[in-house]
Amino acid sequence: MSSEVERIAEMAQAGEKMIERLRRQAFLPESRKALAVRYGIAEAASLLGCSTNRIRMAEEDGRLPPPLPTENGRRPGYSIEALLNMREVLGASPARAPLDVPAIIAVQNFKGGVGKSTVTTHLAHYFAVQGYRVLVVDCDSQATTTTLFGFNPHFNIRREQTLYPYLSIDPTEHDLFYAVQKTPWPNVDLIPSNLELFDVEYELAAAGADGGSVLATRFRKLKAGLADLASNYDIVLLDPPPALGTISLAVMQAANALLVPLAATTPDFCSTVQFLSMMEQVAAQLTQAGIEVHYDFVRLICSKFDSNDPSHAMVRQIMEQTFGPALLPVAILESAEISHAALRMMTVYELHQPIGTAKTHKRCKTNLNETMAQIEALVRRSWGVASPASAEEVINGP
């Protein structure tokens, strides 16, 4: 028996080495993730909501630096840094007003395999492309989100860089600013995670056995720490563990919005119903303990949806009948482009060229933009900013 237990350790070590090997292959030559994606002038104008002529005029009069041409004289496209500068110069920043409350969105479901971390990371990069300031907080000791941002949780992240020094029973940090890491995206920061963050669960569970005061303090502490940090951002995305533990409860109370991903299968639907029931009970218990839980919006989003699978269509119809408008109307489609990007520890928004066919890439990115835009609209509505009306709505009315 002991030899089999030892084999578990051997497999874990071999797996960690392979993750590092994959990371080095993906991010050569510096073994650091870099952002190579570029945007043509037409796509840049669309993102900024202006004409290409306005960009060209700003380049001609010196307000904007034109992109340096390549060796063959072609325009190479604009980087994210260039787009952010354009937004400032042309007054096209979507940033919240100073008195608007930052959106702190928990992406939560207790069912594993629903794409929680994938949704979180793609949502972060979507908001980044749109020009928002984003903070991602990986609260899950499995650290999938941390990995997708190009860090190896085992080799690159120490416990002192996670939430642990702030949430532990004997904290060594009194705010969360110490944990913020830069990412390849100039307007996206990350608080990473690794396996050692799970020690918080043990410590708080043991302390909770002697009474709920310690737990209640930690719940309020995470909310307070995130509130201090959030003043520097427009959007904060929380990726909690897929289980009802102390960290998940703290996240649940710290967030002001909730996004629940679920796949279009019967087990996922049933599990999500159980998750919602547990959330209701826990929210009531927290309220009784004097711990406020308030969300500007709660929405479910169907992930990994295969439009060619009749069973997926049937389950999605059941979701629509059950959850009504709480289910976002546009689902995230299952796509090989998402899987291929994840193999490279990337999102679709980081790909500077398609991995599969150009048609597949375009269909996938268009779908992701539509699904993520639904969440952006909810955030802006909470700030009192309405989404622009479509031409059809202007003509026919909403």
Residue 298 CB-density burial (10 A; 0-12 exposed, 13-18 middle, 19+ buried): middle
Tokens, residue 49: 């909501």
Give a three-class secondary structure readout of 14-62. Answer: HHHHHHHHHHHHHCCCCCCCCCCCCECHHHHHHHHCCCHHHHHHHHHCC
pLDDT score at 388: 52
Secondary structure (DSSP) of 185-229:
STTEEEE---GGGGHHHHHHHHHHTT-SHHHHHHHHHHHHHHHHH
Report the C-alpha gap between 289 and 393 in whole angstroms: 46
**Token pair belonging to 98:** 């100073």
Please report the pLDDT score of residue 81 as a whole number. 94
What integer pLDDT is reported at residue 204 of this predicted model?
Answer: 72
Q: In order of start, what are the domains of the chain with their CATH numbers? A: 41-90 (no CATH), 103-387 (3.40.50.300)
Predicted pLDDT of residue 338 = 92
Q: What residues of the chain score a pLDDT lower than 50? A: 1, 28-31, 211, 389-398
pTM of the model: 0.88
**54 burial via Cβ count (<10 Å: 0-12, 13-18, 19+):** middle
- pLDDT in the model for residue 169: 85
Tell me what pLDDT residue 32 has: 54
Cis-peptide, bond into residue 241, ω within 30° of zero: no
Cβ-in-10-Å burial (0-12, 13-18, 19+) of 353 comes to: exposed
pLDDT value for 213: 62
Residue-wise DSSP of 235-291 = EEEEE--SS-SHHHHHHHHH-SEEEEEEESSHHHHHHHHHHHHHHHHHHHHHHHTT-
Residue type, 68: L
